[in-house]
Chain A
Amino acid sequence: DIQMTQSPASLSASLGETVTIECLASEDIYSNLAWYQQKPGKSPQLLIYDASSLQDGVPSRFSGSESGTQYSLEINSLQSEDAATYFCQQHHDYPYTFGAGTKLELK
């Protein structure tokens, strides 16, 4: 199975700041990576797929990038509604696997 190592496990940031969440794949996944946002009691919501393609309706302050097997989600100009847990997911090969999650708290 492809392992997705996500970091940090949690972070705290202020409104208007920029934060970065990372996922390291255990092997090459050829940009086949998605990012999700999940709020308590809700289903995950797709933010980004193919490492950097923004899902329809997702604010442009969310962006994805890659460097080798390291993938990043950047959130610019943090808003209060961005407080959530974020997961990465590789969609290169089955079993499709998720990162352990990053809980983002707004100060």
Chain B
Amino acid sequence: EVKLLESGGGLVQPGGSMRLSCAASGFTFTDFYMNWIRQPAGKAPEWLGFIRNKANGYTTEYNPSVKGRFTISRDNTQNMLYLQMNTLRAEDTATYYCARSTRVGIWFAYWGQGTLVTVSS
């Protein structure tokens, strides 16, 4: 069974940093692109970026809305996905999800339960 479990959310001050983690299990982690998606309360999800699989060199792509502030990485020995967020703003307040893409396309059949990040003084 595929499982994704995010952690690391909480309250952070504007301008601060935070790192989110996602523990993956139930599948061969290195075979899949892994994504971060966020969703402000009552709004639509926003794709933040992905990190490719082993076959594609673990390279990354980002939404321009967060490029330069957010960094996605993975530890393939621990089956962990990370999102490093810097220079946080109030508008970054949202529930953050990790999600697994499929082998053939970037749609999301598997999501974690989400972790809430609140940026406020």
Contacts and interface: CB of A to CB of B under 8 A. Distances in A.
Interface of A: 1, 32, 34, 36, 43-46, 49-50, 55, 87, 89, 91, 94-101
Given A43-B111, A49-B107, A98-B44, 14 more contacts: A43-B112, A43-B113, A44-B45, A44-B108, A46-B108, A49-B102, A49-B105, A89-B45, A89-B107, A95-B63, A96-B47, A96-B106, A98-B46, A99-B44
Question: How many of chain B's residues touch chain A, expressed as a range?
Answer: 20 to 34
B65 to A, nearest CB: 7
B97 A43 contact: yes
Given A43-B111, A49-B105, A55-B109, A94 B47 contact: yes
B61 interface: yes
A44 B114 CA distance: 10
